[in-house]
Amino acid sequence: MGDIEGMEIDAVEAQTEPMSLDILAITNDSRMTYGLRRQDYQTYRQYCTRRLHRLRQVLNFTHSKGKGFQTKEIPVDFTDSR
């Protein structure tokens, strides 16, 4: 029984390591790929809008129409790699 508890603790410790992202490189790459290379701001705006909508759906941060805006807290233990 002690071995199983030790494995669970190791798994929890492995999950709590901070994620590392190079945000500037990701945004610059997306800008060049989705419209700003040719100064096409409309295409880039549409891309960003679609991506933001997809992220809100995945994180369940969507809001229904006609009802007031209700804030939701961002989870502290966020582990989804998307």
Give the model's pLDDT for residue 72: 74
Closest CA to 50 of 67, 30, 74: 30
Alpha carbons 36 and 28: distance in angstroms, whole number: 9
Give backbone dihedrals phi and psi of 54, rounded to 5 degrees, phi first: -65, -40
Tens of pLDDT, residues 18-64 = 778 888 998 888 888 877 778 888 888 898 899 888 988 888 777 76
Cα–Cα separations (whole angstroms), residue 43 to 20, 23, 29, 36, 74: 29, 21, 15, 8, 29
SS3 2: helix
